[in-house]
Amino acid sequence: MAIKFTEVSYQYSSPDGSLFDALKNINLDIAKTGEFIALIGETGSGKSTLVQHMNALMKPSSGQVEIYGIKINHSKSKKQKLTPLRQKVGLVFQFPEYQLFEETVMRDIMFGPRNFNISKEEAKQRARKAIIQVGLDESYLERSPFNLSGGEKKRVSIAGILAMEPDILVLDEPTSGLDPKGRDALIDLFTLIHNTYHKTIIIITHDMNIVHQVASRVLVMREGELVFDGTSEALFNNESLNKWNLEEPDLIKMTKQLEQRYSISMRPFPKNIDQLFHHIKDVI
Ligand SMILES: Nc1ncnc2c1ncn2[C@@H]1O[C@H](COP(=O)(O)OP(=O)(O)O)[C@@H](O)[C@H]1O
Ligand SMILES: [Mg+2]
């Protein structure tokens, strides 16, 4: 197991001294390879807090996170060497502003690899590859990250993590603020990385179509608790969907309406329009 959460809780403390339970007793196992996980839940449910525990950016208030055999808990000393973990588990922040700070895009993307003792030449090469991977061209490398649009900043921050070549890629709302074409291109990139290198990908998203189409496993957070951990098929069969304020993807809505109308069963749920047609062509 690459990452293991055991009874992890986390409290934020406010300036007035009060505590807020952002994570409550989380138990969770994540494999090194093969998983494509969607992490979903309402805003404020604890998703960003949870993923920052996956590369030891945050330490649990109680319980333990084990990452590649290194145990992280509240009592661990500050001297613990965490750099190797950050290379193995690459985290792209929800807000790219947290991640971009160098003068040029090139230097920003090189920063991660350089931190892990990759040579300057190799880091440059990786930056050139990564900028293309995220759908920008090499002219961006000489620009300042601060003069880019929100979507471009997002892509540069993703390129910076790709250039570290992590085992596990954790992306906090990577497609928010992108147009549909940009969104689809990024999802295709993550799927390609997943299929080619069998890396585990964890993506936080509010887009239920993404959840349905690409995730092999879905985690649902609600008020600091992990309330669901299973396949997307099981999620869309789950009666609590409404209670968790989650929308059904368009294709699932359509499928359920057709099932009712023609008194048929179309399980497993079709993943795309072609599969939907295949299901119904004998019936109507
Ligand atoms: N630095 C902080 N100090 C106090 N409370 C915080 C802080 N960061 C987040 N929170 C609170 O913790 C809860 C979970 O936040 P977060 O993990 O960002 O949720 P999500 O990513 O699901 O929107 C929210 O109620 C949020 O207001
Ligand atoms: Mg968040």
The CATH number of the domain holding residue 162 is 3.40.50.300
Q: What distances in angstroms separate CA 207 from CA 38, 60, 107, one per listed residue?
A: 10, 28, 32
Cα–Cα distance, 247 to 209 (Å, whole number): 10
Q: What distances in angstroms separate CA 57 from CA 43, 60, 73, 74, 136, one per listed residue?
A: 20, 10, 12, 12, 29
Does any domain span residue 225?
yes
Protein residue with least CA distance to atom 27, ligand 1: 44
Q: Contact, 127 vs 141, CB < 8 A?
A: yes
Domains held by the chain: number: 3
> Which atom of ligand 1 sits closest to the CA of residue 20?
5
Does any domain span residue 227?
yes
Does any domain span residue 244?
no
Protein residue with least CA distance to atom 25, ligand 1: 44
20 lines ligand 1 (CB under 6 A): yes
Residue 229: name the closest of 40, 64, 87 by CA.
40
Structural domain range at position 283:
249-284
Averages of pLDDT over runs of 10 residues in the chain (284 residues) are 97 94 98 94 97 96 96 80 91 90 95 93 97 95 94 93 95 91 90 90 96 96 98 94 93 93 90 89 74
Same domain, 106 and 152: yes
Give me the amino acid identity at 161.
Answer: I
Does any domain span residue 162?
yes
How far is C-alpha 127 from the geometric centre of its chain's CA atoms? 21
pTM summary value: 0.94
**Residue 14 Cα, ligand 1 centroid: separation in angstroms?**
11
Q: Which two tokens stand for residue 52?
A: 């920052």
19 lines ligand 1 (CB under 6 A): no
Same domain, 205 and 143: no
Same domain, 42 and 108: no
Does any domain span residue 37?
yes
Same domain, 16 and 67: yes
Residue to mutate (ligand 1; options 39, 42, 48, 225; most atoms within 8 A of CB)? 48
Same domain, 17 and 156: no
45 lines ligand 1 (CB under 6 A): yes
Same domain, 50 and 103: no
